[in-house]
């Protein structure tokens, strides 16, 4: 893969030959002479973030992109239709962006400054869902695009709602259909550069929730055997959780209620699953707990992976 010059925040306006656009805030920093770091060479940085409404958090997204300089950002729960998605925010910051949103529920997006090709809304044979008596629809829970040679999917796995709720059947079928896609892809192309990232709504291990007894006692979702089996089936196909080894014991979500964040009573439910060939390129991964502490934060926090060329 070609190597790409990556400049630190603020360089773009003052260094000749920089092809990377950057935000007005960075230009201001550069004008003030705040930036003196030299250009360097790196690979690619992929982030996933359940934003819990993009319109309510446009400023947080802008600040976060400004600070963390990711190449690809997958968003879930944008909670808006395409007509009201803030495309200009991303384009202003130098990202191409594709969004799939139908209404105030769900909604997924991929922003990229390393190319955004072959956008697909929904995966092949993605199960539909509808309330009883209403037609079933393809919900806005998956969008795929090829970014810098990586096939990225931003995924928002159905919640399940309750262990015996029809939504749980939907969740399990949804994950099984996804697994079938992975199976087909890896069988056809073992060297596939595939990244399935997003909010999986499953806590695969007991340690991925603050109190497993609390979850079991209250017959809560996310920790049940069927959900864990559906998640494990992705790993059995060869997909690799590339974040866990770098962030043992960390959470990605804290409920707004009951002071969960203050007490660090969270859950690990946001994951980046990479195909074997892509997983081999991972150099670093981290969970940005600082973002969750900010005023007006999403209840989920960004999960970032850095890969080598």
- Decide if residue 154 touches DNA (CB under 7 A): no
Q: Which of 161, 235, 290, 309 binds DNA (CB under 7 A)?
A: 161
Residue 125, annotated as binding a ligand: no
201 is in an annotated binding site: yes
300 annotated to a ligand binding site: yes
**184 is an interface residue for DNA by CB under 7 A:** no
Q: Does 293 bind DNA (CB under 7 A)?
A: no
Binding mask 193-212 for DNA (x = CB under 7 A): ------x-x-----------
CB 180, min distance to DNA, A: 22
Question: Between β-strands 150-156 and 194-199, what pairing exists: parallel, antiparallel or unpaired?
Answer: parallel
Among 13, 220, 232, 277, binds DNA (CB under 7 A): 220
For this structure, is 156 an active site residue? yes
Structure tokens at 45: 């940085």
Q: Is 306 annotated as contributing to ligand binding?
A: no
18 closest CA partner among 29, 32, 4, 35: 4
Q: Choose which of 29, 45, 113, 222 interacts with DNA (CB under 7 A).
A: 222
Q: How far apart (Å, rounded) are the C-alpha atoms in residues 277 and 282?
A: 10
CA-to-CA distance for 99 and 150, rounded, in angstroms?
Answer: 18
- Name residues contacting DNA, limited to 260-279 (CB under 7 A): 267, 269
Neighbours of 164 (CB within 10 A): 9
Is residue 95 annotated as part of the catalytic site, yes or no? no
- In DSSP notation, 51-110 reads -S-SGGGHHHHHHHHHHH--SEEEEE---S-GGGS-HHHHHHTT-EEEEE--SSS--EEE
Question: Quick one: which of 46, 300, 14 has its CA closest to 196?
Answer: 46
What are 224's two structure tokens?
A: 């049940």
Tell the burial category of 219 from Cβ atoms under 10 Å away from its Cβ (0-12, 13-18, 19+). Answer: exposed
Nearer to DNA, 249 or 296 (CB): 296
The one among 112, 154, 221, 224 contacting DNA by CB under 7 A: 221
Could you say which of 164, 191, 218, 262 contacts DNA (CB under 7 A)? 218
Q: How far is the CB of 261 from DNA (least distance, A)?
A: 10
Does residue 88 carry a catalytic annotation? no
Neighbours of 234 (CB within 10 A): 23
Provide the edge-to-edge strand list for the sheet that holds 117-121. 117-121, 142-147, 150-156, 194-199, 270-274, 240-241
Which residues lie near DNA (CB under 7 A)?
Answer: 50, 52-53, 55-57, 77, 79-80, 84, 103-105, 131, 158-159, 161, 167, 199, 201, 214, 218, 220-222, 253, 255-258, 267, 269, 296, 299-300
Question: Catalytic positions, please?
Answer: 156, 199, 300
């Amino acid at each position: 893969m070609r190597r790409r010059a990556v400049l630190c925040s603020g360089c773009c306006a003052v260094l000749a030959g920089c092809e990377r656009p950057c935000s007005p805030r960075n230009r201001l920093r550069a004008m003030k002479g705040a930036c003196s770091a030299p250009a360097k060479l790196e690979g690619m940085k992929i982030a996933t973030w359940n934003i819990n409404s993009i319109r309510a958090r446009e400023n947080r997204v802008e600040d976060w992109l400004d600070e963390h300089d990711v190449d690809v950002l997958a968003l879930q729960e944008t909670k808006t239709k395409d007509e009201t998605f803030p495309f200009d925010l991303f384009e202003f910051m130098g990202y191409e962006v594709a969004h799939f949103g139908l209404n105030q529920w769900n909604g997924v997006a991929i922003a990229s400054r390393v190319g955004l090709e072959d956008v697909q809304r929904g995966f092949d044979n993605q199960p539909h869902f509808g309330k009883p008596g209403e037609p079933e629809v393809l919900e806005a829970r998956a969008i795929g695009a090829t970014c810098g040679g990586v096939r990225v999917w931003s995924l928002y796995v159905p919640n399940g709602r309750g262990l015996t709720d029809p939504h749980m059947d939907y969740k399990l079928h949804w994950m099984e259909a996804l697994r079938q896609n992975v199976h087909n892809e890896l069988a056809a192309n073992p060297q596939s550069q595939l990244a399935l990232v997003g909010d999986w709504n499953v806590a695969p291990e007991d340690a991925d929730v603050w109190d497993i007894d609390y979850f079991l006692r209250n017959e809560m979702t996310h920790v049940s055997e069927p959900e864990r089996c559906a998640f494990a089936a992705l790993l059995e196909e060869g997909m690799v959780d590339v974040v866990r080894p770098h962030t043992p014991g960390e959470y990605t979500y804290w409920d707004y209620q009951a002071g969960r964040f203050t007490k660090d009573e969270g859950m690990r439910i946001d994951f980046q699953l990479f195909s074997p060939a892509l997983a081999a390129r991972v150099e670093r991964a981290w969970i940005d707990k600082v973002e969750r502490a900010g005023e007006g934060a999403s209840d989920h926090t960004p999960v970032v992976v850095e890969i080598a060329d």
